[in-house]
Amino acid sequence: MIAGHLPVLLVVLPLMAAPVCVLLRRPAWAWTVAALASWGAFVAAIGLLLQVLDGGPISYPIGGWAAPWGIEYRLDMAGAFVAVIVSAIGAIVVPYARASIEREVAADRIYLFYCMYLLCLAGLLGITATGDAFNLFVFLEIASLSSYVMIALAQDRRALTAAYRYLIMGTIGATFYLIGVGLMYMMTGTLNMADLALRLPAVAETRTILAALAFLTVGICLKLALFPLHLWLPNAYTYAPSAVSAFLAATATKVAVYVLIRVYFTIFANVDVFETMFLREVLMALAVLAMLSASAIAVFQTNIKRMLAYSSLAQIGYMVLGINFATLTGLTGGIIHLFNHALMKGALFMAVGCVVFRLQAANLDTIEGLGRRMPATMAAFVVGGLSLIGVPLTVGFVSKWTLVLAAIELNMWSIVVAIVGSSLLAIAYVWRVVEISFFKPTPEGAPAIAEAPLSMLIPTWLLAGACLWFGIDASTTLSVARASAAFLLGGAP
Amino acid sequence: MTFPGLFNYWVAIALMMIGFYVVIAQENLVKKVVGLNIFQVSVFVFYISISKVKGGSAPILSDGIELYANPLPHVLILTAIVVGVATMALALALVVRIQDAYGTVEEDEIREREESS
Amino acid sequence: MNPATVILACIAVPVVGALLVMLTDRRPNLRESVTLLSAATLFALVLSLHRGVAAGARPEVLVAEMMPGLSIAFAVEPLGMLFALVASFLWIVTSVYSIGYMRGHHETNQTRFYACFALALASTMGVAFAGNLLTLFIFYEVLTLSTYPLVIHAGTDEARRAGRLYLGLLLGTSIAFLLVAIIWTWSATGTLDFTPGGIVRGSVPDSAVAILLVLYVFGVGKAAVMPFHRWLPAAMVAPTPVSALLHAVAVVKAGVFTILKITVYVFGLDVVRQAATSEWLQYAAAATIVLASLVALTRDNLKARLAYSTVSQLSYIVLGAMLATTGSIVGGGLHLVAHAFGKITLFFCAGAIAVASHKTEVSQMRGIGRAMPVTTFAFFVGSLSVIGLPPLGGLWGKWYLALGALEADQAIMVAVLMVSSLLNIAYLMPIPFRGFFAGRENARDGAPDDRGAGILEAPLTCLVAISASALASVALFLFPDPVFDLLRQLVTP
């Protein structure tokens, strides 16, 4: 009975729990509601993935209105896979947030934080589940608006300007997306993705559809912070509360990447998008620029959260690159990196959050000798960092392997060089932190601090452990990513 | 094509450009929000324009009305307006908080104060 | 126990040893017993595999499938058998030596030292027994990471700089060249298993083979072919046991071992011989041999001199691999063994001198022979072996390398070997000679002569280790047959 309604439960559960948080007001109760809702969503997502693995894509007409008139929820392998990782991160961040948020957000606003957190989760999961282009816009805005609020909840006043800037850029991006959808509707008279895919080829050559494609691409790239549309991201991740940085870095941009995949490989499935308007060349150049320039900038950051933010920009470049290859291996690489990067960036931001919890700030000069004082936290950071570099036995290696393999298959040697170059820069920025925290003596008069509380350490290590687990046994994730990619590409002639 | 022809679309584009320009060029955070709003409204105008059917009336179910405008974009835009209002409210709330924290809503002054602190 | 279990135990024993070392942090005597015990167990295990492999068996074990078609697997073949025997035997010797050295030198962080040492040995075993390129690459990287804390053991700024160079060069070359080469091989051949006769024949075009060979040789940064040799002298800031076992045996030999293994099992000898670039790589190796020897002449610091000597000697083996004749491969293998025993003796002596007299520069060591006769004599023996003079094991390697060069019609390489031997004499022999004979005349110049005064022989455990490794060099000259027998299996299918 319930199994049939899982697609909608996935979204409704956190959506309905959000106002409950506001009604309860007490932080502890709000937390309990948030925890239950996010864990429920995780279970639902797992159930959906199993269903999809078992019986192929699931279609769920909302309110019984059949597509293409009603809104259809449609989960294929890629959607279910992204839903699993998003809800997993959501479920892991909640226990972590309890202590962290208490320290970083004013006490009378904590229940509001959990409300926003659940709305954001609902929005992100909605994006993965929906099969309707306009509905996707609505979910995108739900997720975005709540993340602006979550960023602005931090005590630092710079968080306010960061949130404001994110709001302006994010709204422009969303509005661009809306224009794109409008133009497509104008030409096809449908908003259902599967229906769009069928009707677009007939009008693909028109200027309207080209404009739609351009608007969609730019709008989504603003949301996923592809270089040079990334200006909102570093400040937003730096000044947001740590739990928020961890959550957003691991999910929000990933979901935007997922939207890009949806647009290119579902909506435009029967149109060769990459051959129009030099799209492939432009996106590939931007991805490579992102990988190299953002990694290079990361090397010079002293604030560790900011460093990780720039590293995220570079990693987004990898994902866009994988999408751009538009081959089976390439798209697999993009999707698997989406999954893997969520794990490693989540672990890294959470480890830094533990440091912030004890030290109020995570700068290179405050973490001297921290490896001795907070060994478990910093060890998790090392695992995440090695993943970023792409050392074998971590998830980063699997991503890098797949992407380099895809580039070699296409004989794109300059791309191989770029991927390798970006990894070398990653060694530089990750190792500065490792070296300072483990191999510099603790400065005289440094505050005596204990390890972070277990409620934060365990979630951090869950993700760090996942970085190792899925790095050693990558067969499961890779085969799901591969099946998703095959399904997405299958629509193309 | 007779007047108004593509008039609506030209208006939408003009509004869009005006809004976009204001967002980019203004230093004042409130004016930026206003620009953003104009930008969004242009899209609403655009959506409503595409739903117009020549000679059609409003899409109200009633006797004698055979030809009516496509109602779906209207519905969509109602949703989008809600989203727009929410965005606006949040943006203005943020501006208020920024005013409290920095004592100004001018971007260059904020930057100065961030650097000096 | 069946061989598969033994192989896994060879990896597990040092890892368990490392854990136990960490647990026995507070009780140094117990901790050192753990180290000795695991070293002895490891050697016994490796030795138990020897009989089967010598008789032609090739025990295999599959650990896990990491990605579809790519697994972590071990397979023991003669070259790996030999390398594992050498490394595990010398671990016992080095452990004995370390006890005296680390305590005599009052080093800090001894637990971290012993734990990382054991982990390094585990990864060395992994490299030696790797059944495919992926497994080899994994353990190769783990070896780099596990030795990094040993390199910056001292925690000084100099040590940290050296550590950066160490990690940057080793990780950098392996990611930039080796990983790309491996993925390329995988993409072209669809297998990474080590197969007698090679896997690239027929599936990779000649031009690609030529480039791949270059990528492999320079990608294995641990082989220290110029210009990627700088990490090795830098690593000499580590405590002497580290320099002795890891930077004269385990780490560097893992590098040349990898090159030999790739030559034999990935390319196949005739493919290498016919590759367009193998001759250029021979010249690169020859240049490294001569240049590094010249640099060694100019170094006054004893360990730096030995380090450059190692750089030079490693390229003998690279040269042997690139000549790719029966003789040169056997010669390379012999040299791998002989140089291990010779160079470790020299490092042990350098460390013993540093402990007993705090002298690190060659120019300070006049007359040291009378205070430390055993040590200085052992240094003499080690020098003879490295130079390649009878009655020491070093002779065989050079002999067969020269034969191999003639076999490949590269008479000039024979000349290079001879010049290098002369240079070896020039930079090594002065040390024992001045140690024994140069004391008296100095006493006459009226300079305050404290040489010999107040200096006693090194700690007993150090002397035991030194004598053991020196005697092993002699034994290798007298009884080289077991080594020959193993190596012959390599070149006769």
Least confident of A61-75, A140-154, C158-172, C324-338: A61-75
With tokens 């070293």, the residue in question is C39
Q: Which residues in chain A have their CB less than 8 angstroms from residue C183's CB?
A: 401, 404-405, 408
Spatial separation of the C-alpha atoms in residues A64 and A281, rounded to whole Å: 43
- Per-residue pLDDT of A296-337, as tens digits, reads 999 998 889 999 999 999 999 999 999 988 888 999 999 999
Residue C441 has pLDDT above 50, yes or no: no
Distance of residue A95 Cα from the nearest chain B Cα, in angstroms: 27
Distance of residue C455 Cα from the nearest chain A Cα, in angstroms: 33
Quick one: tokens of C84? 């594992």
A161/B110 Cβ within 8 A: yes
Q: Which residues in chain A have their CB less than 8 angstroms from residue C163's CB?
A: 435, 439
- Per-residue pLDDT of A72-125, as tens digits, reads 888 888 899 999 999 999 999 999 998 888 888 888 888 999 999 999 999 999
Residue C345 has pLDDT above 80, yes or no: yes
Does B97 lie at the interface with A, CB-CB under 8 angstroms? yes
Strand partners, A74: A59
Spatial separation of the C-alpha atoms in residues A426 and A296, rounded to whole Å: 8
Q: How many CB atoms lie within 10 A of CB C154?
A: 18
**How would residue B42 be classed by pLDDT, with cut points 50, 70 and 90?**
very high
* For testing contact with chain A, the best of C123, C137, C180 (most A CBs within 10 A): C180
Q: Which residue of A has its CA nearest to C159?
A: A439
ipTM: 0.92
Residue C450 has pLDDT above 70, yes or no: no
Collect all residues with Cβ–Cβ distance below 8 Å to A397 and sequence separation of at least 6.
A387, A390, A391, A471
Distance of residue B24 Cα from the nearest chain A Cα, in angstroms: 10
- Per-residue pLDDT of C26-57, as tens digits, reads 887 888 888 888 888 888 888 888 888 888 88
**How would residue C449 be classed by pLDDT, with cut points 50, 70 and 90?**
very low
The full set of domain ranges for chain C reads 1-276, 280-493
| pLDDT-above-90 percentage for chain B | 40
Measured CA to CA in angstroms, residue C158 lies from C117, C178, C234, C238, C241 at distances of: 21, 28, 9, 11, 19
**How would residue A488 be classed by pLDDT, with cut points 50, 70 and 90?**
confident
Q: Which residue of C has its CA nearest to A391?
A: C141
Q: How many CB atoms lie within 10 A of CB A281?
A: 11
Q: Nearest by CB to A398, which of C67, C149, C184?
A: C67
Backbone angles phi, psi at B11, to 5 degrees: -60, -45
Residue A491 has pLDDT above 70, yes or no: no
- Per-residue pLDDT of B66-79, as tens digits, reads 777 788 888 889 99
Give the CA-trace dihedral at C202, C208, C213, C219, to 10 degrees: -130
- Per-residue pLDDT of A445-487, as tens digits, reads 777 777 888 888 899 999 999 999 998 888 888 888 988 888 8
Give pLDDT, residue C448.
46
Q: pLDDT averaged over chain A?
A: 88
Rg for chain B, CA atoms, rounded: 20
Quick one: tokens of C82? 């030999």
Q: Nearest by CB to B94, which of A134, A160, A185?
A: A160
| Half-sphere exposure of residue C112: CA atoms within 13 angstroms, side-chain side | 17
Residue B59 has pLDDT above 80, yes or no: no
- Per-residue pLDDT of A247-302, as tens digits, reads 999 999 899 999 999 999 888 888 887 777 788 888 899 999 999 999 999 999 88
Please, are residues C365 and C435 in contact by the beta-carbon 8 Å criterion? Answer: yes
Quick one: tokens of C333? 């293998």
What's the whole-number mean pLDDT along residues C95-111?
78
A167/B94 Cβ within 8 A: yes
Chains within contact range of chain A (3+ C-beta pairs < 8 Å): B, C
Give pLDDT, residue B3.
58
Please, are residues A344 and A395 in contact by the beta-carbon 8 Å criterion? Answer: yes
Collect all residues with Cβ–Cβ distance below 8 Å to C273 and sequence separation of at least 6.
C323, C324, C325, C408
Least confident of A448-452, C224-228, C314-318: A448-452
| HEC string for C10-32 | HHHHHHHHHHHHHHCCCCHHHHH
The full set of domain ranges for chain B reads 7-116
- Per-residue pLDDT of C118-150, as tens digits, reads 889 899 999 999 988 999 999 999 999 888 888
Give pLDDT, residue A165.
92
Residue C82 has pLDDT above 80, yes or no: yes
Please, are residues C136 and C127 in contact by the beta-carbon 8 Å criterion? Answer: yes
Spatial separation of the C-alpha atoms in residues A228 and B41, rounded to whole Å: 26
Please, are residues C449 and C442 in contact by the beta-carbon 8 Å criterion? Answer: yes
Q: Are strands C70-75 and A72-75 parallel, antiparallel or unpaired?
A: unpaired
DSSP state of C63: E
Q: pLDDT averaged over chain B?
A: 86
Give pLDDT, residue C161.
86
Please, are residues A384 and A433 in contact by the beta-carbon 8 Å criterion? Answer: no
C187/A405 Cβ within 8 A: yes
**Direct distance between the N- and C-terminal alpha carbons of chain B, in angstroms, rounded to an integer:** 61
| HEC string for chain A | CHHHHHHHHHHHHHHHHHHHHHHHCCHHHHHHHHHHHHHHHHHHHHHHHHHHHHHCCEEEEHHHCCCCCCCEEEECHHHHHHHHHHHHHHHHHHHHHHHHHHHHECHHHHHHHHHHHHHHHHHHHHHHHECEHHHHHHHHHHHHHHHHHHHHCECCCHHHHHHHHHHHHHHHHHHHHHHHHHHHHHHHCCCEHHHHHHHHHHHCCCHHHHHHHHHHHHHHHHHHCCCCCCCCHHHHHHHCCHHHHHHHHHHHHHHHHHHHHHHHHHHCCCCCHHHHHHHHHHHHHHHHHHHHHHHHHHHCCCEHHHHHHHHHHHHHHHHHHHHHHCCHHHHHHHHHHHHHHHHHHHHHHHHHHHHHHHHCCCECCCCCCHHHHCHHHHHHHHHHHHHHHCCCCCHHHHHHHHHHHHHHHCCCHHHHHHHHHHHHHHHHHHHHHHHHHHHCCCCCCCCCCCCCCHHHHHHHHHHHHHHHHHHHCCHHHHHHHHHHHHHHHHCCC
Among C41, C216, C218, C53, CA closest to C122: C41
Measured CA to CA in angstroms, residue A133 lies from A192, A492, C117, C128, C234 at distances of: 6, 19, 58, 55, 58
Please, are residues A94 and A42 in contact by the beta-carbon 8 Å criterion? Answer: no
Does B25 lie at the interface with A, CB-CB under 8 angstroms? no
Q: Which of B13-27, C100-114, C374-388, C424-438 has the highest mean pLDDT?
A: B13-27
Quick one: tokens of A134? 């306009």
Spatial separation of the C-alpha atoms in residues B105 and A197, rounded to whole Å: 46
Please, are residues A230 and A296 in contact by the beta-carbon 8 Å criterion? Answer: no
Give pLDDT, residue C443.
45
Measured CA to CA in angstroms, residue C175 lies from A312, A392, A426, C218 at distances of: 20, 10, 11, 11
Q: What angle do CA C77, C81, C84 make, to 5 degrees?
A: 140
Spatial separation of the C-alpha atoms in residues A375 and C210, rounded to whole Å: 46
Strand partners, A61: A72
DSSP state of C365: -
Give pLDDT, residue C279.
85
* Whether residue A493 has a cis bond before it, omega within 30° of 0: no
Residue A493 has pLDDT above 60, yes or no: no
Residue A392 has pLDDT above 50, yes or no: yes
Does A205 lie at the interface with C, CB-CB under 8 angstroms? no
**How would residue C155 be classed by pLDDT, with cut points 50, 70 and 90?**
confident
* For testing contact with chain A, the best of C62, C70, C177, C183 (most A CBs within 10 A): C183
DSSP state of B28: B
A389/C183 Cβ within 8 A: no
| pLDDT-above-90 percentage for chain A | 45
Give pLDDT, residue C444.
45
| pLDDT-above-70 percentage for chain B | 95
C67/A400 Cβ within 8 A: no
A474/C67 Cβ within 8 A: yes
CATH architecture for residues B7-116: Orthogonal Bundle (1.10)
Least confident of B85-89, C383-387, C482-486: C482-486
**How would residue C493 be classed by pLDDT, with cut points 50, 70 and 90?**
low
Spatial separation of the C-alpha atoms in residues A351 and C47, rounded to whole Å: 44
